[in-house]
Structure 1
Amino acid sequence: MILYPAIDLKDGQAVRLLRGDMEKSTVFNDDPAAQARAFVEAGCQWLHLVDLNGAFAGRPVNADAVEAILAQTDVPAQLGGGIRDMATIETWLEKGLARVILGTVAVENPDLVREAARAFPGKIAVGIDARQGRVATKGWAEETDVMATDLAKSFEDAGVAAVIYTDIDRDGAMGGPNVEATADLGRAVSIPVIASGGVSSLGDLTALRDTGVIAGAISGRALYDGALDLGEALRALA
């Protein structure tokens, strides 16, 4: 199971939100590229980046910070937030991203996900963010009646590289991930599932790994707060 350190970008800084609330953000580093380098030096295999402003704006906002991270690190990175058309997907992949994450458009324009997955094999992931199993879009500001499992199943034949499943109520709350719901999703689809939201201890990581159906886990606040030591976690998962 791969551990993805998270760098959430707001106004050019590395922050963490509490349950997706932009008004409840904590700045952890005003130099996101330096934060990325620290994660890489600790041994991470991937980076998980989110353009929070972009998720609300519907277009890239923190591009400078993302480009600085790509220029100063040598591990693959995936990015979500504000990526809602083919031109933006192409631009980010040309700039060196290993994978783009499509969230809002997976609900509003699933054909774009399919088109992108065909055009860029292995480079398109679907971000599914849910409260009580129902998908939320536009930076989690809008809730839908779409069930997370149904959305994931709809892309079974699309060739997407991964599904990133975030339990919004767990995100940034340091209360542990929703292992059961994430594992249920992992069993329901053949697409690799990456867990996000609430991963805050080594025990959380091993619980996710031991399900046998979760391909990766994303952690943010716990790494910044020191509740989870990245080097120790990577050694344990290895």
Structure 2
Amino acid sequence: MILYPAIDLKDGQCVRLYKGEMEQATVFSDNPAAQALSFEDAGCEWLHLVDLNGAFAGAPVNAAAVEAILAAVQVPAQLGGGIRDMATIEGWLSKGLARVILGTVAVENPALVREAARAFPGQVAVGIDARNGRVATRGWAEETDVMVTDLARQFEDAGVAAIIYTDINRDGAMQGPNIAATEALARAVSIPVIASGGVSSMSDLVALRDTGVIAGAISGRALYDGAIDLAEALATLRARPAAAER
């Protein structure tokens, strides 16, 4: 299971939100590139980036910060937030981003997800953010009647690289991830599922890994607060128990 350190960008700074509320943002760094480099130095294999302003604006807002991160590190990075047309997808991938995450458009324009996944194999992921099992869009500001599993199954044959599943009520709350819902989703689809929201301890990471079906986990606040030591976590996850390999 891959651990993705999260860098959430708001007004050019590295922040964490509480349950998706922009008004409840805690600033952890005003130098996102330096933060990314510290994660790389600790041994991470991937970075997870979110343009929070872009998610609300519907277009990239923190492009300068993202580009600075891409210039600073060698590890691959995935980005979500405000990516809602093919031109933006092409633009980000041409700048060295390894993977784009399509969230709102997965609900509003699923044909774009399919088109992008065909055009850029392995470089398009779907972000599914949910409250109480229902998908939320546009920076989590709008709730839909679409159920998580129903949306995920729409893309089974589309060739998307991964699904990033976020339980909004757990995000930034340090209350643990929704392991049951994430595992259920991972068992319902063949697409690799990455857990996001609420990962706050080593025991959370181990529990996600030990489901045997969750491909990755994203953690932000716990890394910044020191609740999870990144180097230690990476070492623990790499020393996968034999029982979990079956």
Q: TM-score range by the shorter chain?
A: over 0.9
Give percent identity, aligned residues only: 82
Per the TM alignment, residue 4 of structure 1 is displaced from its structure 2 partner at its CA by 0.0
Structure 2 unaligned segments of length 5 or more: list them.
239-246
Name the structure 1 match of 2:41. Answer: 41
How far apart are the structure 1 equivalents of 2:42 and 2:213? 26
Per the TM alignment, residue 134 of structure 1 is displaced from its structure 2 partner at its CA by 0.1
* RMSD, aligned CA: 0.2
How far apart are the structure 1 equivalents of 2:46 and 2:163? 15
Name the structure 2 match of 1:69. Answer: 69
Name the structure 2 match of 1:157. Answer: 157
How far apart are the structure 2 equivalents of 1:237 and 1:150? 30
TM-score normalised by the chain length of structure 1: 1.00
Name the structure 2 match of 1:193. Answer: 193
How far apart are the structure 2 equivalents of 1:102 and 1:148? 14
Name the structure 2 match of 1:143. Answer: 143
In the TM superposition, 1:22-41 aligns within 5 A as: 22-41=22-41
How far apart are the structure 1 equivalents of 2:150 and 2:202? 30
Name the structure 1 match of 2:134. Answer: 134
Name the structure 2 match of 1:21. Answer: 21
Name the structure 2 match of 1:6. Answer: 6
How far apart are the structure 2 equivalents of 1:229 and 1:139? 29
TM-score normalised by the chain length of structure 2: 0.97
The one-character-per-residue Cα deviations of 1:123-176 (angstroms, maximum 9, x if unpaired) are 000000000000000000000000000000010000000000000000000000
Aligned length: 238
How far apart are the structure 1 equivalents of 2:202 and 2:233? 6
**Post-superposition, which runs of at least 4 consecutive aligned residues in structure 1 deviate over 2 A?**
none
Residue identity in the other structure for 2:14: A
How far apart are the structure 2 equivalents of 1:121 and 1:199? 29
Per the TM alignment, residue 119 of structure 1 is displaced from its structure 2 partner at its CA by 0.2
Name the structure 2 match of 1:222. Answer: 222
Name the structure 1 match of 2:111. Answer: 111
Per the TM alignment, residue 122 of structure 1 is displaced from its structure 2 partner at its CA by 0.1
Residue identity in the other structure for 1:124: V
Residue identity in the other structure for 1:148: V
Name the structure 1 match of 2:97. Answer: 97
How far apart are the structure 2 equivalents of 1:164 and 1:217? 9
Structure 1 unaligned segments of length 5 or more: list them.
none
Report SS of the residue matched to 1:66: helix
How far apart are the structure 2 equivalents of 1:232 and 1:31? 24
How far apart are the structure 2 equivalents of 1:110 and 1:120? 15
The one-character-per-residue Cα deviations of 1:86-138 (angstroms, maximum 9, x if unpaired) are 00000000000000000000000000000000000000000000000000000
Per the TM alignment, residue 58 of structure 1 is displaced from its structure 2 partner at its CA by 0.1
How far apart are the structure 1 equivalents of 2:84 and 2:223? 29
